[in-house]
Structure formats: C-alpha cells, structure tokens
C-alpha cells in the first residue's frame, strides 16, 4: 500500500529577538511580504507612480522578487488593520512540523502552508489564525512544547505573544481549552 507524503519546502530562517528560555533558542524573525504594483497617476500634471498593495502575506524568510529586490519587511508586531493573528511554532523535528501543517490545512484549507523553517537550533512553522474577540488585538503568538521530567505532567506549552503595542508578554491562551 502506498501512502501519500506531503512534501513541504524547508527554508533556513534568520534568528529573531524572541528568546525561549526553557529550550534555549531564539525564534526566527517574522517578515511581512508585501506585493505591490506601480500605477501611473492619471492626473496630467503628475508623473508620480502610486503603489497599490496586491497581496500581503507573512513569512519566516526574507524573500526577494524577480528583480532581486527584497519585498520582505521585518515585523515586530501586527497592526490593528491586520485581519488575522499569526502563530509561530517550534517543532522537535521536520516530520512533526509537516504533520502539524497538514492538520492546519485540513482544518482550514484557505490557510496554505508556507513551509518549514530551520535555524541553527530549531524547526519552525508560521500559520495564520482568526483573531478571537476576547484578544486585545491581532497578535503574533510564539509557541513551543516543553517536555518536563515528571511523566505525570508531561508537556506544557511555552507561550509568548506580541500585540499591536509591540510588547512581548507571557500568555496562556493555548494552555487552556478556550
């Protein structure tokens, strides 16, 4: 019997500022990927080019367009106009990351997986998620499973979030059944 294997591209990511003390690692830098189109102004007296945003995505990779110009902006926090929150998750292996992305796509087919990203110390994914009404704003969540030595306790989620104010905070939104 042949099984179907999801082949997810793996990319090397740049180290970011968010530090996970229990795992002794930095999460990768998050980038806003903006695709723009230049339009000439219709006013006769204006030769200025106006840029129109065609698409806005997020990545853990600094992407360049076909002309070799970087169109990735390092991001510390989302803005109030962003329609979704982000989850940057650490995984113990590329196989677990691939399985996680398959589950995300199964639940929300519009949330196309952006790939698996590696740093010198870890494997990471980034996904979008609807912002709950109970959250203060669109947020970036940084999540990692921390395995404790106590077999009765098992695993807990290390969680930090950044709101539109740019402050990194310890949160427990994913540790509870909400």
Residue 35 reports pLDDT greater than 80: no
Average pLDDT, the chain: 79
Residue 1 reports pLDDT greater than 50: no
Q: Which distant-in-sequence residues (6+ apart) come within 8 Å of 156 by Cβ?
A: 145, 146, 148, 175
* 124 or 41: which leads in pLDDT: 124
Strands 84-91, 140-147: pairing is: parallel
CA dist 41 and 54 (Å) reads 17
* 94 or 39: which leads in pLDDT: 94
For residue 112, give the nearest of 154, 152, 55, 69 by alpha carbon.
55
> Count of CB atoms within 10 A of residue 44's CB?
6
* 28 or 70: which leads in pLDDT: 28
Domain ranges of the chain: 10-28+76-170, 32-73
**pLDDT tens profile 159-178:** 999 999 999 999 988 875 44
Are 127 and 113 in contact, with CB atoms under 8 Å apart? yes
Are 111 and 103 in contact, with CB atoms under 8 Å apart? no
pLDDT of residue 163: 95
pLDDT of residue 121: 83
């Amino acid at each position: 019997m042949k099984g179907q294997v999801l082949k997810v591209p793996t990319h090397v990511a740049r180290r970011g500022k968010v530090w996970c003390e229990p795992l002794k690692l930095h999460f990768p830098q998050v980038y806003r990927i903006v695709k723009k189109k230049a339009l000439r102004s219709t006013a006769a007296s204006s030769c200025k080019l106006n840029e129109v945003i065609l698409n806005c995505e997020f990545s853990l990779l600094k992407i360049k367009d076909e002309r070799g110009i970087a169109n990735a902006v390092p991001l510390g926090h989302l803005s109030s106009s962003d329609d979704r929150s982000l989850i940057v998750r650490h995984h113990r292996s590329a196989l677990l990351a691939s399985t996680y992305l398959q589950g995300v796509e199964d639940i929300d087919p519009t949330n196309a997986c952006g790939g698996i990203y590696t740093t010198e110390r870890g494997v990471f994914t980034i996904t979008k998620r609807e912002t709950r009404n109970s959250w203060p704003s669109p947020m970036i969540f940084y999540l990692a499973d921390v395995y404790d030595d106590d077999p009765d306790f098992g695993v807990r989620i290390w969680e930090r979030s950044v709101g539109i104010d740019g402050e990194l905070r310890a949160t427990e939104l994913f540790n509870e059944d909400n």
